[in-house]
A and B are shown apart, each in its own frame.
Chain A
């Protein structure tokens, strides 16, 4: 299987519910396991549900450093940007993941970090789940791309394919999702960095059919009646 080749600052953007946070967490875990120093910042100021912070105890146990707002504001329906985030961007480690909020609204906060980003090179990757509304067509994905870029005042330079129906994802969804992001990559000229496959169905996937790197997703953001996959 091809290794995911990413280092430095990686900004994860995409539409609401595209899977940015699940991808960010699992990318962090994947890289940490291969010995890379990883930091992750939760920049989702828009939506207080299902954010990176949900997985914080598991992540800190395996030694991933997280930047979060102060504890007392964790549940606030308010946009709180910790000054720590600018610090992370100015002094990145081997891999610094910035998990931005959804849509253009969520990406707006990136523009306010322009000073910190000045002179830095970074990846800005758009997570795409073609099984979500508004990103089921190449046109829809490109519209989202341009809205996010306008709001963030930054340029997207790669794609992450995250085709899934959570627990009901079939191998066919993975293959057709892969074909979709390949097409998106051709039409947009953006690099396809990797696609994701849930650990639940990973063993059913013929990896030789996929020529880009694959990130195995060990699901962390689960409803309270389900258990998150244990990270070791």
Chain B
């Protein structure tokens, strides 16, 4: 199949189908409602299920149920909807079931706005649910990458038996780009016998699978939490992904930026190069685990005098960048958090304003 022109939201829906996910539960909210619209047409064509829950809370437990039964399952929502799902996310994580969540963010807090924003960085990376649960967080910068990340997300969720979340800004959901779909995956998690409650007969197993997040015995709870901790540590070893741009040059400034914001930064970097100012970019593709060592090493280049985190938020990634840099260079922030996307010219002014 050749390339097709797809809106990010449509492509995310199609990617899930290609990843063998035939279970989609969701509740509509701008700017991701086209995923539900697309899948309401496509799921019946492929023998899948789209069920609109009565709320995002309900949806999160539909996801839990399907995941516990060993099915590939996913949902999409936007900021306030993800907040409502957060209880379910925590339960799913504690019970070690795989599932995929997509958050096409609104500007926040509160009801916020529907225009492009990256307001849920902290929520996704550090506070997605109670009890210290963490999700693998991936952030695409384009529609093709959104497709690839969705298709990677299912096997990764199964590898860790832990939910994965794709964090996209409104542009990822709304813009159209040509896409190509990788080969389809099978439709069942290959390791589902490890957790799925499908009945011992069907699994021809003597081991009882029990899906639960209640551990009355403090030793057992401690043990379960240490298992979760070990998974987060393993993610840091094995799943960090990032992209670098113009880092072969003797850059004086390093920009850290993710999602579509990084594409504006690349245009700004190209223009600054023409003006004689070299600027590098590192784009985290995974936000948790954060590419801490890569950011530090990239900032350690002798020519680099300052680091700036450029985001469509109030500077939520700044702390992760500071932690990576370990005080070796000043870290500042530039961005907008109301739905306006900073222009390449504004990024150029912010970089020049560092006076390096």
Contact = CB atoms under 8 A, between A and B. Distances in A.
A129 B31 contact: no
B174 A50 contact: yes
B30 A77 contact: yes
B114 A77 contact: yes
Contacts of B175: 49-50, 223
Given A132-B6, A224-B341, A165 B178 contact: yes
A166 interface: yes
A78 B174 CA distance: 17
Nearest to B38: A133
Given A16-B34, A168-B178, A75 B113 contact: yes
B114 A129 contact: no
The interface centre, meaning the residue of B30, B178, B264 with most chain A CB atoms within 10 A of its CB, is: B178
Contacts of B263: 223, 225
B177 A49 contact: no
B41 A223 contact: no
Chain B, interface size category, equals 20 to 34
A77 B30 CA distance: 8
Q: What is the interface of chain B mostly: helix, strand, loop, or mixed?
A: mixed
Given A49-B31, A224-B264, A224-B341, A16 B4 contact: no
B178 A223 contact: no
Interface in B301-356: 339, 341-344
Interface in B197-220: none
Nearest to A136: B4
B266 A225 contact: yes
Interface in B1-29: 3-7, 10, 14
Contacts of B115: 48, 75
B103 interface: no
Contacts of A226: 267
A134 interface: yes
Given A75-B115, A226-B267, A133 B10 contact: yes
A75 B339 contact: yes
B14 A49 contact: no
Given A134-B41, A166-B176, A166-B177, A17 B5 contact: yes
Interface of B: 3-7, 10, 14, 30-31, 34, 38, 41, 113-115, 170-171, 174-178, 260, 263-264, 266-267, 339, 341-344
A131 interface: yes
A24 interface: no
A224 B266 CA distance: 11
Contacts of B4: 131-133, 136, 165
Contacts of A167: 178
A152 B275 CA distance: 53
A16 B171 contact: no
A164 interface: yes
A136 B267 CA distance: 34
A198 to B, nearest CB: 12
Interface in A193-232: 223-226
A48 B33 CA distance: 13
Contacts of A164: 5
Interface in A123-166: 129, 131-134, 136, 164-166
Contacts of B171: 223-224
A223 B170 CA distance: 12
B5 A165 contact: yes
B7 A16 contact: yes
B3 A165 contact: yes
B326 to A, nearest CB: 31
A21 to B, nearest CB: 12
B59 to A, nearest CB: 21
A163 to B, nearest CB: 9
A225 B7 contact: no
A224 B346 CA distance: 11
